[in-house]
């Protein structure tokens, strides 16, 4: 049952990040796409390289979510997700305090804890490729 629980966590969190990456990179699922997300980054103070940072954020979310979901290099997927969440805390949510109701970093913090926990435990038995 532990492996099934880990699979459910990996799929729910990982595929959510895949969706967020697709929003940023391709404008899918109602997302802004690279140009508009780059403009948003510029509006919050990231004046230099907004489009580049938008692409990197989208790629980190997409690749991190795919790896995490698949249980393939789960630790790497977790690192990519954690980097994006730490960035979100420092650039957007941190100034608003902890609680999500105030625009804070509560959700980012929980996501970091979940992906770090799974990375430390391991992905379980249900993974894309056999693990020894």
Task: Please report the pLDDT score of residue 132 as a whole number.
Answer: 53
Angular region, 124: left φ>0, alpha ψ -120 to 50, beta rest: left
Q: What's the pLDDT tens digit per position in 3-61?
A: 999 999 999 999 999 999 999 999 999 999 999 999 999 998 887 888 999 999 999 99
pLDDT at 45: 85
pLDDT tens track for 65-123: 999 999 999 999 999 999 999 999 999 999 999 999 999 999 999 999 999 999 999 99
CB-count exposure of residue 92 (10 Å: 0-12, 13-18, 19+): middle
């Amino acid at each position: 049952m532990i492996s099934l629980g880990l699979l459910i966590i990996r799929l729910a969190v990982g595929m959510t990040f895949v969706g967020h990456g697709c929003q940023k990179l391709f404008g899918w699922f109602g997302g802004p796409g690279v140009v508009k997300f780059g403009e948003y980054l510029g509006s919050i103070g990231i004046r230099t390289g907004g489009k580049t940072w938008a692409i990197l954020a989208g790629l980190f979310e997409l690749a991190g979510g795919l790896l995490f979901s698949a249980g393939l290099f789960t630790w790497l997927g977790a690192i990519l997700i954690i980097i994006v969440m730490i960035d979100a805390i420092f650039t957007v949510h941190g100034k608003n305090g902890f609680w999500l109701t105030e625009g804070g970093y509560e959700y980012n913090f929980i996501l970091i804890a979940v992906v770090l926990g799974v990375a430390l435990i391991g992905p379980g038995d249900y993974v894309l490729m056999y693990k020894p």
